[in-house]
Structure 1
């Protein structure tokens, strides 16, 4: 299945279980739980946990977007439009935006 089909399947699964009407603040807590599990997988270099956690994070984000009446695809597109022309450089293995480099005097 491609990402669009999977997203539709996740939406259908969430609606069938009433998650689309659940409290977004609770879903945000669930997101933090899943991100914590991802961090744990990274810390332990546990590839299976990393894969599962990345998937879980996506599922929780899709459900959160439904609860907030947002389209996750549009959210991703919006973010991509913001970063598509972004300039910067890698510093210690992390991409730092050009404007942040200027603020830190690291131009």
Structure 2
């Protein structure tokens, strides 16, 4: 699963993200679920290609944001540093 071209896998992730955007914009729950699942599979593959795991990536992201302060602006979380 960690074989293949890294750039093509990242491009595939972009395609799947586009599908997710279309599904959400249409309000199509089944397509949203499918796109999220496809993105997860591709992200697992990309992580493996880079010598890590998706779990390690999630843990690293959580460590970075767990204590972050900010507020919701128009339905989107904006970190405190960007509010200034």
**2:75 is the counterpart of 1:80:** no
> 2:7 — aligned with what?
25
Taking the aligned partners of 1:56 and 1:21, their CA distance within structure 2 comes to 17
Runs (5+) with no aligned partner, structure 2: none
Match for residue 27 of structure 2 among 16, 26, 45: 45
SS of equivalent residue, structure 1 residue 62: helix
Taking the aligned partners of 1:69 and 1:82, their CA distance within structure 2 comes to 20
Aligned residues: 84
> 2:72 — aligned with what?
90
Which consecutive aligned stretches of 4+ in structure 1 deviate over 2 angstroms post-superposition?
Answer: none
With normalisation by structure 1, the TM-score equals 0.76
Taking the aligned partners of 1:33 and 1:61, their CA distance within structure 2 comes to 12
Taking the aligned partners of 2:46 and 2:20, their CA distance within structure 1 comes to 18
With normalisation by structure 2, the TM-score equals 0.96
SS of equivalent residue, structure 2 residue 67: coil
Runs (5+) with no aligned partner, structure 1: 1-13, 15-19, 103-107
